[in-house]
Every structure is written in structure tokens, then in C-alpha cells.
Structure 1
Amino acid sequence: MSIGSLGDVVFEASSEKVKTLRDMQRQGSARFATHEIIGKKPLREFLGPGLEKITFQIQLSASLGIEPASEMKTLRELRDKGEALEFVLGGSAVGEELWTIEDLSEDWSRINGQGTIIFANVSVTLQEYPRDTAGTAGGSGTDTTSGSEEGDGT
């Protein structure tokens, strides 16, 4: 059963595979400009919302039908390409925007006698990526505001 996904990375729990996330935290802030005024306290001007961040942990275990090395490689590739991804949990998008993998931290907890990683914990940090800029970063290639592919002349 699918719990959710980050792009093509599927979080699931079934009799054959268990790949779930835990300890999810979401953080956001507001943006303000400060205007200095001689002889008075500075004034703050609201500029708009800041970009949100999400952090979570993924446990990858060979005993639960997962190949930790392969899964970590996929996550590293998505991070290194800067791909803007849809993040879905429970069938609903998390937020209105896309997300990029900003940071990964891998803890290779168990390695067998052949050097194969059999258990790992991965810390993932996502950064919000506004849809109106999709296609201008290192990877998505789709301008979701016009519905056309980048570079097709429309």
C-alpha cells in the first residue's frame, strides 16, 4: 500500500516491502524588510511568506524488501540534479508547491560480510520550490504555468 511519494520515490508498506518515513517536521517563516529611521525605531514591512522546509527520516532495511544502496543512490541523484518534485502523503500533495532535496545525511548502520549495506537511516531535508519557477532550475524542464515544455517555442 502506497503511503506517499517524492517524485518517483514511493513510500510504501506491504507484505513484501516497507519503506516509510518518520519524524517529519515542517518549518516555515515570514519575510520582512527592516527600514531604518533616524531617531526612531526601525519599521518592518511584510514582504510575503518565506520558503518552507520539511525534514524526515527514512529507514532502509534489506530485511524489509529494500535495497538501501540503490535507494540512497536514487535520492542522491535527485538531490544532485536539483529536480523539483511533487511530495504526496496519504493521497494529497504536501503544500501547493514543489520540493527539492536540499540535504541528505546517510547513516550506514549495518553492513554485511560482503560489504553490502543491509540497514541504513537517511535524513532528508526538502526545500519548497515555487511552481511558477519550475523549469528554471536544474532539472524539472516543465514550465507548469504555461503547460508547455521548455524550449518548444510556445
Structure 2
Amino acid sequence: MAMIGCLGDIAFTVSSSVVRTLDNFQWSGSARYAAHQRHLGRGLLEFTGVDPDKISFDMTLSTQLGASPAREISKIAKYESEGRTLPLTIGSKAYGTYRWVITGHSVKAKTFDRRGNLSVVVVSVNLQEYARR
């Protein structure tokens, strides 16, 4: 089994029985500036800090590849609604300064089985960095 990384206890892994990998990984950050207006002159910018980083990615979950789409979606939604902070590790690198929270997710159902159960889904997950106080 090859462990690619994890978000809390949600493992990104590839093995003979399970495939759960990331796709479209995006990491962004931004800085904050205040503009001070000066009489008859140009405004003066002042650096006031940085905003929390954001990460988004997609996961394809398929019952044919050993995943349980309904269970994984439920776990992601639970972590989001509880505001649980989760470490994010990919390879040997821990991302962020502390932990991450799930700020949103969306599910695109690709296929259903003959009983109407989700068979293949693409879950898009949005994270925001959660710094220590």
C-alpha cells in the first residue's frame, strides 16, 4: 500500500484494494493592506498581515476502487459541521502552520448502482488554514 498523505484520518492512498487520491490540488494565500489617504498626495499602503491560506482539491471515490462514497462524504460533512481542525500531510510534508478546517464541500455524482446507491463521485473539498491562538 502506498500512503500518499492524509487529512486527519482521511487517507489518500493507493493499494490493490483501495484507490483514494487527490486531483486539482490548489493552494493559495493572500496579504492584507490598508490604504491611508493623504491630502493632495497618493495614498500610502500599510501591510497589516496575512490572511489564512486556502487549499482546494478533488477526490474521486469509487466503489469499484474500494472506497465507500457515502461513508466518505458523511465523514467530510461531519468534520465540516463540527468545525474539527485537521492536520494535512502529503508525502512527508505537513502543510500550513498548524491545522486546517473544512469550509465547504460539493459532491458530483458520476454513477449509481442498480439500487440507486452512489457508485462513483467526485468530492471537491475546500480548506482554510486554522492557526494556533
TM (normalized to structure 1)? Answer: 0.83
The one of the two structures with greater contact order (alpha-carbon pairs below 8 A, sep at least 6) is: 2
- For 1:75 and 1:127, how far apart are their aligned partners in 2? 14
Is 2:53–2:96's contact at 8 Å kept on the other side of the alignment? Answer: no
- For residue 80 of structure 1, what is the aligned residue in structure 2? 81
Identity score, percent: 37
Paired residue for 2:7? 6
Residue 28 of structure 1 aligns with which residue?
Answer: 29
* 1:131 equivalent in structure 2: 132
Name the count of aligned residue pairs: 132
Report the counterpart of residue 94 of structure 1 in structure 2. Answer: 95
Q: TM-score, with normalisation over the residues of structure 2?
A: 0.95
Structure 1 gaps, min length 5: 133-154
1:87: how far off?
0.3
Q: Give the whole-Å Cα distance in 1 for the aligned partners of 2:11 and 2:92.
A: 12
Question: Helix, strand or coil for the counterpart of 1:95?
Answer: strand
SS at match of 2:85: coil
CA contact (8 A) 2:29 2:52 kept: yes
Secondary structure of residue in 1 paired with 2:127: strand
Partner deviation per Cα, 1:8-40 (whole Å, 9 max, x = no partner): 111100011000111101111111111122211
2:4–2:21: 8 Å Cα contact kept in structure 1? yes
After TM superposition, what 4+ stretches of structure 1 lie above 2 angstroms from structure 2?
Answer: none
5+ long unaligned stretches in structure 2 = none
Alignment of 1:31-46 (within 5 A): 31-46=32-47
Whichever structure has more strand as a proportion of its residues is 2
